[in-house]
Amino acid sequence: MDHHGVPGSLLADLRVMAATGKLRGLRSVRYDLVTDWSESGLTEEEACRKLSVFNRAVILAVLDAHVEVYPWLSGCTFLEFGSGGRGEQVLGSDQDNGLLLHDDIDEDELEDAANDIVISLDGAGIPLCAGGVMISNREWRGRFDAWLKRMIGWLSNPHEKGSWQSGLILDFEPVYGPEEEAYRLRGRLWEYVRSKPVAVKMLVDELTDYRMPLSLFGSFITEKKGAWAGHLNIKNSVLAHLTNAARILALKYGLPFTHTCDRVRGLAEAGHFSGSHGEELLRAWEWLQGRRQAIGIACFEQGIAPHNYIDPAELSAAERGELKQSIQAVEKFVRLVQAGAGL
């Protein structure tokens, strides 16, 4: 094995592809891997972890290739945020990255390198982030003190961040370059959340906008208009709330995990909710990620951009039952965290 679970043989092959400009072919390789894992009976958790390792290998290969042009990159730390940092990626997951600098670097050269890297990753099948969470955005690069000030600002002031940022910035891993300062930065942020009740409250407050996409009578609440009328966004309306609620409790209790499933297991084992509720949440995560993976496969085959929408009317009765159970398990979890249970 090489770096963060990346097999050395895979990394060696990808380095050759990156050096010779052949990474675009990885789109098909990634699709083949995901479909093979699906057909082989891997759980979605296993498949998402394996895909995240593969994407991490792609990142390492791209950065190794760019070090040839920008030697100072080897002294920087490339950070993965969001699903990449948690190891929960599906086919079509986009980039969420940052750059921790350890030396002063010419700004123009840094700008050129950052743009080259994100474009190369996009070409290799890790799409650009629509929200701009990429090293090509100046907000997502800087030295330790700048990162710490910026992130604590986001965590402490609701007017200085989008609702997606507070959670996303807390789940990151260093994937390239020196690691010590990255883990120290993450430790400082996690300690800030643990020691500041107001920070926990702000994270919990972000859950208050949650509206279960089920009516009192058990019918699905879907988009009313637009291209996705009649559809339900399973990532934004269900899965994100499971991820956020698990993160809040894990940070509060000092659990060392970043993966949502590991957090759920750790919290259940520590008695913060029942084992049966933990199993319900794990089953919900598995089902929802499975649907997202299936959507990603279908979108790739149709040559269209990936999305997270499903039409409940097109589901079988058994699938609609799974979706309802997933939503109900997540809502129960969100309400528990909102009410302060276990906090």
Q: What are phi and psi of 83, to 5 degrees?
A: -65, -30
Sign of CA dihedral 249, 252, 254, 256: positive
In the chain, CATH 1.20.120 covers 207-338
Residue 280 half-sphere exposure toward CB, CA atoms < 13 A: 16
What would the pLDDT profile of 138-178 be if each residue is shown by its tens digit? 999 999 999 999 999 888 887 776 656 778 899 999 999 99
**What percentage of residues in the chain have a pLDDT greater than 90?**
77
pLDDT surpasses 90 at 8: no
Q: How confident is the model at residue 1 (pLDDT cuts 50, 70, 90)?
A: very low
The pLDDT mean for the chain works out to: 92
Domain 207-338 adopts which CATH fold? Four Helix Bundle (Hemerythrin (Met), subunit A) (1.20.120)
What would the pLDDT profile of 204-239 be if each residue is shown by its tens digit? 888 876 678 998 888 999 999 999 999 999 999 999
pLDDT at site 49: 97
One-character DSSP codes across 138-174: GGGEEEHHHHHHHHHHHHH-GGGS-HHHHHHTTS-EE
pLDDT at site 320: 96
What would the pLDDT profile of 281-292 be if each residue is shown by its tens digit? 999 999 999 999
Domain 8-202 adopts which CATH fold? Beta Polymerase; domain 2 (3.30.460)
What would the pLDDT profile of 253-307 be if each residue is shown by its tens digit? 999 999 999 999 999 999 999 999 999 999 999 999 999 999 999 999 999 999 9
Please count the helices (runs of H) and the strands (runs of E) in the chain. Answer: 14, 6
CA pair distance 234, 159, nearest whole angstrom: 27
The helix or strand, by DSSP H or E, that contains position 189, with its residue range, turns out to be: helix 180-195
pLDDT at site 211: 77
pLDDT at site 3: 62
What would the pLDDT profile of 78-137 be if each residue is shown by its tens digit? 999 999 999 999 998 999 999 999 999 999 999 999 999 999 999 999 999 988 999 999
CA pair distance 31, 35, nearest whole angstrom: 6
Residue with tokens 């058990």: 218
In the chain, CATH 3.30.460.10 covers 8-202
CB contact set of 260 (below 8 Å; sequence gap of 6+): 86, 88, 242, 243, 246, 247, 285
What would the pLDDT profile of 311-330 be if each residue is shown by its tens digit? 999 999 999 999 999 999 99
pLDDT at site 73: 97
pLDDT at site 132: 93
Residue with tokens 């030697």: 71
